[in-house]
Amino acid sequence: MTAYDHVIVGGGILGASIAYHLACDGAGRILVLERNALASAASSRAAGLILQVSTNDTKTALIKRTRRIIDILSDELGEDIGFHAVGSLRLAASEARIEDLDGMAAEAERHDIPFEWIAPEEARGRAPWLDIAMVRKVGFLPTDGYVDPYLLSMAYARAARARGVTLRPNTAVADILVADGRVAGVTTAEGPIACESVIDAAGAWATLLAARAGYALPMAPVRSHYWITEPDSAYGGDHPVVTMPDASAYTRPDVGGLLLGIQEKNSATFDARDLPEDPNAFSPTVGEEHWDRLAEASDNVGRFFPGVHEARFANYIAGLSAYTPDGKIVLGPVPGIDGFLAAAGCCGSGIALSAGIGAAIADLAQGREPRYDIAAFRPDRFGTVDPFSTDFRDRCAASRATKSRRVQRL
């Protein structure tokens, strides 16, 4: 008999959510192996935006589930996970972005997600620092908001543990054991662990793990970053999340200040083989001045947020997200190895997608048809790739530049 039914590699938000969903199904003995502390990599650095309407129908459904699970977890744990239900404003200043916004309104209606058209003046009423001179159309989604990503990750983990999942931090997986085309277990420094299914939820390192089993996952680590001002009454209190796709930027409130995130045209991308095992031992902005990156974007952002030039930014947070060339997740069975599943390549939306991904993987791991149509996310959709090559990594980085756009116009 195997030691575990399901072994999940990676104790970030995806590993924790998958464990929680498997445990909710009573799926047997479940083990999460994390080589550092739980939620110590991307899942503790995210801006935590939960914007429910995506550029893809299934992604919208996956995110909608997360919005619902946040309330369920709060009830289960008997404490507030701290979802900030401030809503989100989406601004459009160009024909292409108006077209996107019209598409999003239709998508919101299809998924029964509240969406309101509001006048630009009303948007400024909600976010007083906005310059609306160029803004032509605004959508407001009142049930969107943001969450502390670490608290949500740990809420999944704690709820999973309460349902019998074993969480083992400080335990690295060295290898995937495969016998007769089927996964047989994993190896750690303490020895092999036999199991029926292995789920690769190793974040930016997921490619390395899959490569050990001989499969090249189509994703690459790409830098994401944001700046936070010191507390300043100019930004108001609990104003909505604001997305400005014409400026490839977003904001949200942060303890009395303003958090500003920017999607660069050419985000830094890395060879996963060069990443250290400890994310805290690595800065994706090494050798560069992050103020230069902010200055480059300031004119563009300043069209909507003129205060960007004088804002007193006090904090800078950078981390790695795994991106794919088409901006879609890598989710599903790894071809050629029965029982090996991948849940990675979240393209900067892993917090928002977490519950939907957890549910879909729980279905697959138990041999069921996934409850969501995840065919578009299958790992082999690009054919054979070299995820470490510069050309492939550049394609992944380019998909970050157009992340929040429906109509891809580079």
Ligand X SMILES: Cc1cc2nc3c(=O)[nH]c(=O)nc-3n(C[C@H](O)[C@H](O)[C@H](O)COP(=O)(O)OP(=O)(O)OC[C@H]3O[C@@H](n4cnc5c(N)ncnc54)[C@H](O)[C@@H]3O)c2cc1C
Is position 36 an interface residue for ligand X (rule: CB under 6 A)?
A: yes
CB-CB contact of 96 with 248 (8 Å): no
Stretch that binds ligand X, among 78-86, 93-101, 203-211, 227-235 (CB under 6 A): 203-211
Interface residue with ligand X among 11, 120, 356, 379 (CB under 6 A) is 11
Is position 134 an interface residue for ligand X (rule: CB under 6 A)?
A: no
Q: Angle CA(387)–CA(388)–CA(390) in degrees, nearest 5?
A: 105
Is position 198 an interface residue for ligand X (rule: CB under 6 A)?
A: no
Is position 352 an interface residue for ligand X (rule: CB under 6 A)?
A: yes
Is position 217 an interface residue for ligand X (rule: CB under 6 A)?
A: no
Is position 244 an interface residue for ligand X (rule: CB under 6 A)?
A: no
4-9 and 241-244 as β-strands: parallel, antiparallel, unpaired? unpaired
Q: What is the DSSP letter of 44?
A: G
CB-CB contact of 262 with 291 (8 Å): no
Residue closer to ligand X (CB basis): 108 or 346:
346
Residues near 290 by beta carbon (within 8 Å), at least 6 away in sequence: 225, 227, 316, 318
Interface residue with ligand X among 20, 21, 27, 45 (CB under 6 A) is 45
Helical ranges in 235-316 per DSSP H: 290-302
Helical ranges in 51-145 per DSSP H: 57-77, 95-110, 120-126
Beta carbon of residue 278, minimum distance to ligand X (angstroms, whole number): 8
Is position 22 an interface residue for ligand X (rule: CB under 6 A)?
A: no
Is position 49 an interface residue for ligand X (rule: CB under 6 A)?
A: yes
Number of residues forming the site for ligand X (CB under 6 A): 42
**How close are the terminal C-alpha atoms of the chain, in Å?**
54
Beta carbon of residue 11, minimum distance to ligand X (angstroms, whole number): 6
Residue for token pair 């909505």: 240
Alpha-carbon gap, residue 88 to 66, rounded angstroms: 16
Binding mask 278-307 for ligand X (x = CB under 6 A): ------------------------------
Is position 350 an interface residue for ligand X (rule: CB under 6 A)?
A: yes
Beta carbon of residue 174, minimum distance to ligand X (angstroms, whole number): 7
Site for ligand X in 153-172 (CB under 6 A): 172
Residue closer to ligand X (CB basis): 137 or 354:
354
CB-CB contact of 293 with 225 (8 Å): yes
Closest by alpha carbon to 63, among 121, 141, 144, 117? Answer: 144
Stretch that binds ligand X, among 111-119, 301-309, 312-320, 365-373 (CB under 6 A): 312-320
Beta carbon of residue 37, minimum distance to ligand X (angstroms, whole number): 8
Look at phi and psi of residue 199 and say left if phi exceeds 0, alpha if psi is from -120 to 50, else beta.
beta
Instruction: Give residues in contact with ligand X (CB under 6 A).
Output: 9-15, 33-36, 40-43, 45-49, 172-173, 201-205, 209, 224-226, 317, 319-321, 344, 346, 348-352
